[in-house]
Amino acid sequence: MSAVTGDGCALCDLPLGETAIAGEDGDRYCCRGCERVSLTLEDVPDAAVREGTDADPTEPDDPPPGTECAFFRVDGMHCSTCELFVERVAAASEGVERVAASYVSETVRIDYDPDETDEAELAEVLTGLGYTAYPRDDAVARRQAEDRTEARLIVGVLFGMVVMMQYVLLIYPLHVRPPYYDARTHEFLVEMVTSDVAVPFFVVLFALTSVVFFVTGRPIIRGAYVSLKTRNPNMDLLVTIAAGAAYAYSTLAVAVGRVDVYYDVTVAIVLVVTVGGYYESAVKRKAGDLLSALSSAQVEEARRYEPDGSTTTVDVAALEPGDRVLVPGGERVPVDGRVVEGEGAVDEAVVTGESLPVGKTEGDAVVGGSLLTDGALVVEVGAGAASSVDRIADLVWNLQSSSSGIQQLADRLATIFVPLVSVLALVVAALYLLTGAGLAAALLVGLTVLIVSCPCALGLATPLAVATSVREAMERGVVVFDETVFERVRDVDVVVFDKTGTLTTGRMEVLDAEGPDDLFERAAALERRSAHPVAGAIADAFGPGADAFDVGSDDDSAVTGGSAVETDGGVPEGERVGAAGADGPVPDAAAVTGEGGAEEPADDRVSDFSAYATGVGGVVDGQEVLVGHPDLFDDRGWTVPDELTEAVAAERTFGRLPVLVGRDGAAEGWVTVGDEPRDGWAETIAGLDARGVEVVVLTGDDEAAASFFREHDGVDEVYAGVPPEGKAETVRRLRSRGRTAMVGDGTNDAPALASADLGIALGGGTALAADAADVAIVDDDLASIETVFALSAAAGRRVKQNIGWAFCYNAIAIPIAIAGLLNPLFAAVAMGASSALVVTNSSRTLLPDGGEGND
């Protein structure tokens, strides 16, 4: 995404509203955060993104005029060659303007002309390639695709068992006579497989093996075809050559009357590799099920005001610009718009990442997906009738579909091994011909070389090691969505952290206070009438049953992260507020109960309760009490001593939210509320720093809220006040420094998670963040990031060990084949032994003691 100089922000391209600023470089920006990123991190062309990272995942341009955009999930697209092939074939289809594919997310984006084609035809085109394509959000189609995969595997196992049984009982004993077979039995077997009776026997073996090879092995054969079309040899090609060579060898041997048939090798290769891949996929699906409880901030229905003053529940898609919708407390704003009636506190963390709600009154803009925590609003639908959350979701889909994967180690080795073995087989066959061997004998020896270069162990090396890594990660509360994660994380150079909800808890808590205990207790009684998060923090800290809070002085305050309120008088648009409530003039708003909305608890001590945009007031135990922003005290004409004014100003500099508390016309104390850093955050950053990883904090919150992290030795840079689209562009620019990982928890982090080389979402975040990430930490434990790095290192060593075993097998078996000493029993035993070694090695625990691994 290059910088723009049109009507949008020069960094993130968001529309420029009344808050637009002119940057020092002459460009215009939507906020100070975008300006600082633009001035600090230079834009780089796509080609300048560090070599070795994933393909640049910047958002594709808007669809060309007159075209529409469709997203498909394509099952079976499991490697970088699949991406290239799907893009080439789909782009050649009539009506398709542009295609972007990603095997990492199994997503394909197609921009097409609706006059020439439609989504149904495009799905058929992709499915016709041998893959299974369907709309990305079609859960039924996904389940059907998984059922077909399982059916192919079941058929292969059943038919394969029949084939292998014949070999164990009839063919293997011909080559190595078991001690329990007497001479008469052996003679009977020889006669049976060499007489006319053997013809139908071998025909049956041929038929059963054909089903295994062409039905169960169909995805493997397709992958081989794709690799040839794209001129990029991969593991599928290696597997197909070996299995196909055994199949062709055996069929030719039967035709010339030989008994050394290798249908067992074909069956074993196809089933071993298929089962290994299926096991890996099953482990990942099981891990993904852990996140089923994640919440989503996208709104499907809205209460629309009708001309007669009534409200009607309608689908959000039916809203048009200019419509008015009622948003009760506890519900999410359905679309972007502007407040026309009412007052309330809106939690915009899902979009902006800011930890404290924002006070909204008539004329203020609100964003779709944000949560109205207190009060009620009537919102006029803005231009486009779109939600910011929906816009972010579209951005994530764009980023995912254009973010290509990386080639696994086994595939990279296959690009060398496949041509090498093929050339070796041809050379051996030619040498046999030159030394006087017959054509049939020379051809069979060449095919034998291809057969014994059996890729079973090599094909299992990566999927089994990855499956073990995914399983162990899951046991430690870490969910992995993409099999390339453990390969990518080993090369991470930069880790970018979101602040609110990631480095901090994201929960409002009382951090410090000074004033009379009895006044705080009355303030808590008053705050229980408000649904505002800050009010909840005060009620929890000073209400009945709460642990005694250590009320100290300014000197006792500790510097912690949080959010700031900065004002020079009145509360400006978008100001963060204190313990705010709202009971603005919204028609019938009090009669509407939103899901999750708070009900006022009965409290005989409180009377004459009033809620304001910046605080609450009322009479408690006969005393008039006021809690809120200093401006509320000024508006109400209450006295604020100079020492309290100075204390509040000092608290703001620490990036926290101070709230004044007073009674009977005068302020007597203050309470500071904020969200504290998570336990272990410093150790996590120190661990990354010790690995030589650059650490960056990227937040939508303001500079004061992020200043605490700027002072930490392990943090290299802090970028504050950056919107979601700006976060994605910031990550793109950071990727020029090396492979970049992003750690976040909210919907606002999703574009950055999707645009990073590796996205890590905390499991307590939103579903959209998890969808955009490659890794999710279910228990919100930042220490699990170190676990991911440790598992990655251990998995890398395990894969290399497995590949080492595979090449040891080939180093022994290929020379024996060249010498013409190979027989079917040796091939079966050697193949089984090599595969068993890989399976045994892969099943060992990677991190038995939670350390760096046992390899």
Give the active site residues: 498
* Structural contact between residues 693 and 493, judged by C-beta atoms closer than 8 angstroms: yes
CA-CA distance, 625 to 636, in Å (whole number)? 12
Classified as helix, coil or strand, 130 is: coil
* Structural contact between residues 326 and 592, judged by C-beta atoms closer than 8 angstroms: yes
Structure tokens, 494? 């930069």
Q: Hey, how many other C-beta atoms are within 10 angstroms of the C-beta on 692?
A: 7
Structure tokens, 592? 């509407």
CA-CA distance, 750 to 773, in Å (whole number)? 7
DSSP conformation letters of 366-380: E-TT-EEEEEEEEEE
Structure tokens, 648? 């509040």
Looking at this protein, which amino acid is placed at residue 179? P
CB under 8 Å to 61, separation ≥6 — which residues? none
CB under 8 Å to 468, separation ≥6 — which residues? 795, 798, 842, 843, 844, 846
Beta-sheet pairing, 492-497 with 337-347: unpaired
Residue 210 CB burial class (10 angstroms; 0-12, 13-18, ≥19): middle
From its phi and psi, is residue 313 left (phi > 0), alpha (psi between -120 and 50) or beta? beta
Strands (E), 287-435: 301-305, 311-315, 324-327, 337-347, 358-360, 365-366, 371-381
CA-CA distance, 466 to 482, in Å (whole number)? 10
CA-CA distance, 725 to 1, in Å (whole number)? 10
**Bridge partners of residue 742, in order along the sequence:** 496, 759
Q: Hey, how many other C-beta atoms are within 10 angstroms of the C-beta on 564?
A: 22
Virtual CA dihedral for 85, 88, 92, 97, nearest 10 degrees?
130
CA-CA distance, 737 to 726, in Å (whole number)? 18
* Structural contact between residues 415 and 234, judged by C-beta atoms closer than 8 angstroms: yes
CB under 8 Å to 343, separation ≥6 — which residues? 359, 360, 361, 362, 375, 377, 582, 583, 584, 612, 613
DSSP conformation letters of 730-799: HHHHHGGGSEEEEEE-SGGGHHHHHHSSEEEEETTSBHHHHHH-SEEETT--THHHHHHHHHHHHHHHHH
**Bridge partners of residue 381, in order along the sequence:** 337
**How would you list the strands of the sheet with 717-719, edge to edge?**
478-480, 775-777, 758-762, 739-744, 492-497, 694-698, 717-719
Q: List the one residue out of 768, 109, 730 whose CA is nearest residue 399.
A: 109
Structure tokens, 122? 């495009």
**How would you list the strands of the sheet with 615-620, edge to edge?**
509-514, 666-674, 657-663, 623-628, 615-620, 606-612
* Structural contact between residues 497 and 503, judged by C-beta atoms closer than 8 angstroms: yes
Q: Where are the alpha helices (DSSP H) in 256-312?
A: 263-288
CA-CA distance, 559 to 686, in Å (whole number)? 19
CB under 8 Å to 335, separation ≥6 — which residues? 299, 302, 316, 319, 325, 368, 379, 381, 382, 385, 386, 387
Q: List the one residue out of 618, 628, 525, 538 whose CA is nearest residue 580.
A: 628
